Amino acid sequence: MELLTDSFISAILLIASLDPEVFSIVWVSLKVSGISTLIASLMGAPLGFLIAYGSFKGKRILIVCLNTMLALPTVVIGLFVYSFISRRGIFGPFDLLYTQKAIIIGQVILILPIVTTLTIAAISRIDERYRKTAMTLGANRWQTACVIFREARFGIVAAVIAAFGRVIAEVGISMMLGGNARGFTRTMTTAMALEYDKGEFILAVALGIILLVLSFGINLIFHFFQGRTRT
């Protein structure tokens, strides 16, 4: 218990001192997770919309496959991407391994199914009357689709937040594809794992606190935005 309280107090002091290493790690984490979330959202939200809105053969199978991909372990994705970008892989000549780009590729694979399936769920929950109302007021297919997308916006934002929460907290992909290089590919989670291995808890606890505060802040912003729009 003493170890925890001592580490916690020291961690708070470390954060308060604006330690450059801590903030370098936080910056790398935010940058990598932010870019991967952006890419996955730009791909996953329209894809989820098309799957939910469209009717085509194999739709249910596709949704089952996407749901299955939600359970993909990060180490499996790490291994899969590694096989493509390692020196012997087909993308080896691009020198992607142990770069932030490699982490982003892996993280996009990790969260694309999350954004897509949660978007499908958000669109599917939208009342059928919105479609009918838009149509009877003269909207074409595209305009009707925009109405439905707009009505599902809170669900889609929630999907994006869930995806960001998943990548910022993952460790397997960042470790396997990023290599935990200090100041370059060291993220909050890989740094915490390293510090734990070293038996140094202060930096790990400090990063853990920042991770929780970030997560809380993002959810707070979402609820504030949701509340303002609905009142």
Interface residues with other proteins (CB under 8 A) are: 127, 129-130, 132-141, 143, 147, 150-151, 229-231
Closest approach of Cβ 127 to other proteins, in Å? 6
90 φ/ψ angles, rounded to the nearest 5 degrees: -70, -25
Q: Which of 178, 174, 158 is nearest to 226 (CA)?
A: 158
> Given the complex with other proteins, which of 148 and 171 has the nearer CB atom?
148
β strands within 35-185, DSSP E: none
Give 183's contacts (C-beta < 8 A, 6+ positions apart).
24, 28
Contact 191, 204 (CB under 8 A): yes
Closest approach of Cβ 145 to other proteins, in Å? 13
Contact 115, 45 (CB under 8 A): yes
> Given the complex with other proteins, which of 9 and 146 has the nearer CB atom?
146
> Given the complex with other proteins, which of 96 and 152 has the nearer CB atom?
152
> Given the complex with other proteins, which of 5 and 231 has the nearer CB atom?
231
Give 172's contacts (C-beta < 8 A, 6+ positions apart).
73, 74, 75, 77, 78
Closest approach of Cβ 138 to other proteins, in Å? 4
Closest approach of Cβ 51 to other proteins, in Å? 21
> Given the complex with other proteins, which of 93 and 227 has the nearer CB atom?
227
Amino acid found at 84: F
Closest approach of Cβ 161 to other proteins, in Å? 19
